[in-house]
Amino acid sequence: MVSSFSLVTRTTVPVEQLFDASLSIDEHVASMRQSSERAIGGVTGGSIGLGETVTWRARHFGVWFTMTTQITSLDRPDRFVDEQTSGPFRSFRHEHSFGRDGEITVMVDTLTIGSPIFGRLAERTALVPYLRRLIRNRNRHLVAVLEEATGTP
């Protein structure tokens, strides 16, 4: 079974800057301090690109996990996709889409996950809300860093 959800983030930060920051390993690590997440293999700093991988090590639900993801699609500044190549999920796909609504940048994160550990009920009641919080916190971090750097409100 798989679960899917989308999260929409709206900001005045320019779309190109938000796209580039979303590919930053360093900003991802900074946004995930609460889970002690760090990059331990592949691209471990700077920006990740098409076909490249990163191996993450993080503590979630009190358990240490290791997961390798690959950028499988990249069309700057509109969209990129990262997918798990090894790790705790039966499947993990994160699509990042970027667009404009007038002067507003709209970022949509769509996650599709399948976990062999959790059943469908546990995915929906525990895992999806947890991932939704992680992504929301990550996006708040990215927007705050970019607003500070560019002086945009």
Percent of residues in the chain assigned helix, strand, coil, to nearest 5: 30, 45, 25
Please give the average per-residue pLDDT across 19-26, as a whole number. 98
Residue 124 confidence (pLDDT): 78
Q: Is the pLDDT of residue 118 over 80?
A: no
Domain limits for position 13: 3-150
Q: Is the pLDDT of residue 142 over 80?
A: yes
Give me the number of domains the chain comprises.
1
In sequence order, the 6+-apart residues with CB closer than 8 A to the CB of 135 are 7, 109, 111
Residue 150 confidence (pLDDT): 78
CATH at 63: 3.30.530.20
Beta carbons within 10 angstroms of residue 47's beta carbon: 14
Residue 94 confidence (pLDDT): 98
Residue range 40-90, pLDDT digits in tens: 999 999 999 999 999 999 998 888 999 999 999 999 999 999 999 999 988
